[in-house]
């Protein structure tokens, strides 16, 4: 089968031919119907050798959807031929966090050698993939897999961050979304769907800001040294009750700190390598800073339900698997509008 793999440090993704995997006991083989490209794929492919810990060769793709194609021994409750989304942050399944569906915060996964597909385990950017357990599947039903696959990360991750800040997002409040890319453009829609907050979108790129406005941002601002002051101006000097930074680089973290209101929330979702010093004189009184990771199983179900009622939709660019390298190139140079999705 064809697969898109990262094989050599610094060389970027390659389309290769590998064997179709066989599901072991308890595992499910999916025939992939769609797989999303995430900027985190570039985060790991840009790492120097001494910091790279995901194994090689690595089949990419941590946003996956497919049709159940073959069941390993003992698998129950999965219907052959039915369409599923893959819940990616795999945990041990047995601990307190996993019992709440928060496998993204499983403290045992790493020590047990459990890694998410595409981020250690073989991912979804292939014709087939193995899912380790039935609990990591969520039925898609009638949802179009290409349109909805990226909800497993570009939807789930902002949803998880926004839900945790929801008590700050009352009527009259302001939420700032920094980075209106794959995650950000879905985050804006989630904010509009589940809160009455005014949404200010910030990006470097005019085209991304046009998309942000299209999907529901009330205001859009070009990102720069003056942006935080503009956010303060738009909020009568108070700042934003919640800032969601989908970039996480030093300039956007500085902006987040300058733009957040007293007792507000900063959620650093982007892994751009910046650091936000928090302390009595460095952040406004009461401001909370958090760097959330991915989301919970039940939150994935909720995001898919938001799509079912038409409240959230991913803007997608489709590519065949042979064009995956081109799609990754566009993601790297910042010219994907919404999310790039490969359809094997």
Give residues in contact with ligand NAD (CB under 6 A).
38-40, 43, 153, 157, 178-184, 202-205, 208, 223, 246-249, 251-252, 269-272, 293-294, 331, 334, 336
Q: Cα separations (Å) of 50 from 40, 54, 278?
A: 18, 11, 29
89, interface contact from Zn ion, ligand NAD, none, CB < 5-8 Å by kind: none
Chosen from Zn ion, ligand NAD, none, partner binding at 34 (C-beta under 5 to 8 Å by type): none
Question: Tell me, what DSSP letter sits at residue 311?
Answer: S
**Backbone phi and psi for residue 130, each to the nearest 5 degrees, phi listed first:** -105, 130
307 binds, among Zn ion, ligand NAD, none (CB under 5 to 8 A by kind): none
Contact between residue 221 and residue 202 where contact means Cβ atoms under 8 Å apart: yes
| CB-nearer residue toward ligand NAD: 168 or 339 | 339
Q: Which is nearer to ligand NAD, 203 or 302 (CB)?
A: 203
- Please choose which of Zn ion, ligand NAD, none residue 247 contacts, taking the beta carbon within 5 to 8 angstroms, the exact cut-off set by kind: ligand NAD
CB 293 to ligand NAD: min, Å: 4
Q: How many helices (H) and strands (E) does the chain have?
A: 10, 16
- Nearest approach in angstroms of CB 179 to ligand NAD is 3
- Which residues, listed in sequence order, are joined to residue 4 by a DSSP beta bridge? 15
End-to-end CA distance of the chain: 10
Query: Which option in ligand NAD, Zn ion, none does residue 201 bind, with CB closer than 5 to 8 A by kind?
Result: none
CB of 269 to Zn ion, least distance (A): 10
The candidate with the shortest Cα–Cα distance to 128, out of 238, 212, 225, 18, is: 18
156-164 and 182-194 helices cross at what angle (nearest 10)? Answer: 50
Q: Minimum distance from CB of 85 to ligand NAD (Å)?
A: 15
Please state, as a whole number, how many other Cβ atoms lie within 10 Å of the Cβ of residue 217.
29
Residue 77 neighbours by CB under 8 Å, 6+ apart: 134
Of residues 203 and 241, the one with the C-beta less far from ligand NAD: 203
Indicate the residue among 64 and 72 with the shorter CB distance to Zn ion: 64
Q: In the structure encoding, which two tokens stand for residue 239, read together?
A: 């700042």
How would DSSP label each residue in 224-236?
STTHHHHHHHHTT
CB of 200 to Zn ion, least distance (A): 24
Q: Are 258 and 266 in contact (CB under 8 A)?
A: no
Which residues are at the interface with Zn ion (CB under 5 A)?
38, 40, 153
In the complex with ligand NAD, the residue whose CB is nearer, 63 or 72, is: 63
Nearer to ligand NAD, 269 or 304 (CB): 269
Selection from 192, 241, 248, 183 nearest residue 217 by Cα = 192
Name the residue whose CB lies closest to ligand NAD. 181
CB of 17 to Zn ion, least distance (A): 26
To Zn ion, the closest distance from the beta carbon of 177 in angstroms equals: 17
Of the pair 306, 336, the CB lying nearest ligand NAD is at 336
CA 286, CA 4: separation in Å to the nearest integer?
45
């Amino acid at each position: 089968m064809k697969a898109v793999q990262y094989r050599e440090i610094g060389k970027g993704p390659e389309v290769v031919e590998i064997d179709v995997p066989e599901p072991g006991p308890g595992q499910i083989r999916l025939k992939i119907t769609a797989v999303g490209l995430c900027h985190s794929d570039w985060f790991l492919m840009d790492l120097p050798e001494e910091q790279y810990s995901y194994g090689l060769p690595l089949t990419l793709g941590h946003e996956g959807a497919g049709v159940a194609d073959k069941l390993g021994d003992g698998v129950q409750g999965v219907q052959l031929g039915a369409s599923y989304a893959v819940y990616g942050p795999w945990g041990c399944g047995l601990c307190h966090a996993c019992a709440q569906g928060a496998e993204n915060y499983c403290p045992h996964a790493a020590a047990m050698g459990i890694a998410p597909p595409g981020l250690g385990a073989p991912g979804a950017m292939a014709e087939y993939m193995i899912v380790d357990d039935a609990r990591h599947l969520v039925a898609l039903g009638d949802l179009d897999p290409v349109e909805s696959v990226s909800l497993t990360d570009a939807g789930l991750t902002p949803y998880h961050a926004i839900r945790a800040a929801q008590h700050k997002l009352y009527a009259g409040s302001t939420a700032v979304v920094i980075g209106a890319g794959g995650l950000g453009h879905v985050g804006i829609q989630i904010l509009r769907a589940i809160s009455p907050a005014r949404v200010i979108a910030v990006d470097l790129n005019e085209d991304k800001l046009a998309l942000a406005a299209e999907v529901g941002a009330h205001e859009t601002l070009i990102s720069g040294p003056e942006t935080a002051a503009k956010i303060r101006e738009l909020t009568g000097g108070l700042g934003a009750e919640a800032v969601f930074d989908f970039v996480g680089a030093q300039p956007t973290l500085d902006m987040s700190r300058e733009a957040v209101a007293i007792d507000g929330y900063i959620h650093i979702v982007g892994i751009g390598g910046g650091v936000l010093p928090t302390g009595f004189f460095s952040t406004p009184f009461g401001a909370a800073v958090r760097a959330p990771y991915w989301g919970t199983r039940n939150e994935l179900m909720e995001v898919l339900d938001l799509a079912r009622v038409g409240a959230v939709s991913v803007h997608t660019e489709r590519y065949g698997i042979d064009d995956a390298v081109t799609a990754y190139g566009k993601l790297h140079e910042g010219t994907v509008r919404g999310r790039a999705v490969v359809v094997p």
